Amino acid sequence: MSLRFGSVLLLALASLVSAQDKPSLVIKVKRLHVGDGTVVEGAALVISGGKVSSVVGKDVAPPAALEVIDIAEAELTPGFVEAESRVGMLRGDADNEEGRETTPWVRAVDGIDKANPGFAALLRTGVTTAVVLPGDRNVIAGVSCAMKMVPGAAEVLSEEVAIHAVIGRGPTIRNAAFRGGEATMFTRRPTTRMGVIAELRRSFQEAMGRNQPGWEPLYPDREGFALARIGRGEVPVAFVAQDAAEILAAIRLCKEAGIPRYRIGGTIEATLVMDDLKAAQISILIGPLFNPGSGPEKGGAISDPRRLDKAGIAFAISRGNDDTGSTLLDLARAAARGGLDPNKALMSITSAPAKVCGLDGRVGTLAVGKDADFCVWSSDPMSPTSRLLVAGIGGRIVWRESTASAKKE
């Protein structure tokens, strides 16, 4: 009796163990892009416990799984990482908390509506992770967060990605005196780029000063507390700097104050200051990109990514403030048309932005142990003919094209 009971228990345990061992999902495709530049032909992605458990090539039979998806002609990529977005912000919150010019304690994650349809819309373009910025109307706008695009119930990947600082005219918009009249005490400041930079300098010096031995705050304040963390390098500063002059200003400011961790985003003129970027050894986010010729040329050229790559500067592509309807993948495709190696173009929207944003421990590639965030495309994703068939986050299929299953059968 006891023996029988024991064996049953053992069996139950064994089945429990095997159920845990058995991968939850295996996806077989024609070509798998790991996201770090490697491409595996005839591959299968093996997922268990929401993580990538292995990637097997065509010579190895994938293990039995609870669910198998086999789309012979398809290509699989990691889910894309959008490094600068406003997705999920409540209406109006995409601007800023304008009580002050520097609000480093304000957190974007507190303004997010997790059921916002924007998450699902972004997911359909292949983006599974997006860093949400607190806005660009403040000099120091606040703390960005990273979200995963689960439709209807977006998940927080990181509550704190970076503290966002905006150089340039963004924070001066609407600050000018009413109808060109005299600036009064009611006029919001700063009103010029030099004013913005002066405000940043004051903040950074305070950030460093807070960490001097013997410094005693007169009273504990939320701004000083947040700034001190920048000074200690606990959280990086993420600049939004469009022009070459603004990129140089960011580098200069951080050098002056000795800010240990920072990066530069939203740039469209990085190719003009490549030597300075190289010397400073910082990572950058570029975008939006535009084609040669007419149209709204407020972006970098599509040949910029190739030039930066040639110069050995680490970069990722983000949509930045692109409002023309181009997707992140469109930008990578344009970079490839501009001469960047297609594999590197794919990296510039997967592993590269994950690394720039410090999220590479979890997302950006399909290396073993990373979150199983993936997209299955009908053909080469770098071609405009490819269509998103399936998207998964954390090993769970969160979006499936209605015709994809029909085609499979």
| Chain residues that interact with other proteins, rule: CB under 8 A | 117, 120-121, 124, 288-296, 301-303, 306-307, 324-326, 330-331, 333-334, 336-339, 342, 378, 382-387, 403
The residue (of 217 and 296) whose beta carbon lies closer to other proteins is 296
> Shortest distance, CB of residue 326 to other proteins, whole angstroms?
4
CA distance 329 to 127: 9
Length reported for the chain = 409
Whichever of 20 and 383 has its CB closer to other proteins, that residue is: 383
- Which pair of structure tokens corresponds to residue 194? 């030099």
R_g of the chain computed on alpha carbons: 24
Please report how close the Cβ of residue 384 comes to other proteins at its closest, in angstroms.
3
- CA-wise closest residue to 381 among 319, 327, 322: 327
Beta carbon nearer to other proteins, 198 or 397:
397
DSSP state of 90: P
CB of 37 to other proteins, least distance (A): 18
Q: By C-beta, is 86 or 306 nearer to other proteins?
A: 306
Closest contact distance (angstroms) between CB of 32 and other proteins is 20
Q: Compare residues 170 and 338 and give the one whose CB is closer to other proteins.
A: 338
Place of tokens 């997967």: 350
Closest CB to other proteins among residues 80, 262: 80
Residue closer to other proteins by CB (options 18, 385) is 385
- Which residue, 103 or 378, is less far from other proteins as judged by CB? 378
CB of residue 304 vs other proteins: minimum separation in angstroms?
9
- What is the H or E stretch that residue 122 is in? helix 117-123
Q: Which residues contact 59 (CB under 8 A, 6 or more apart)?
A: none
In 3D, which of 5, 184, 170 has the Cα closest to residue 94?
A: 170
**Rounded to 5, what percent of the chain is helix, strand, coil?**
30, 25, 45
Which of 67, 100, 272, 104 is CA-nearest to residue 171? Answer: 100
- Minimum CB separation of residue 407 from other proteins in Å reads 10
Q: How far is the CB of 397 from other proteins (least distance, A)?
A: 16
CB of 295 to other proteins, least distance (A): 4
Transcribe 350-401 into DSSP letters: THHHHHHTT-TTTSSS--TTSB--EEEESS-TTSTT--EEEEEETTEEEEE-
Closer CB to other proteins, residue 305 or residue 353?
A: 305
Q: Report helix, strand or coil for 71.
A: coil
Distance CA(349)–CA(305), nearest Å, equals 12
Q: How far is the CB of 386 from other proteins (least distance, A)?
A: 7
Note if the bond before 305 is cis, omega within 30 degrees.
Answer: no
Q: CA distances (Å), 268 to each of 81, 273, 276, 282, in order?
A: 19, 11, 15, 16
Give the Å distances, CA to CA, from 291 to 298, 326, 369, 386: 10, 12, 38, 21
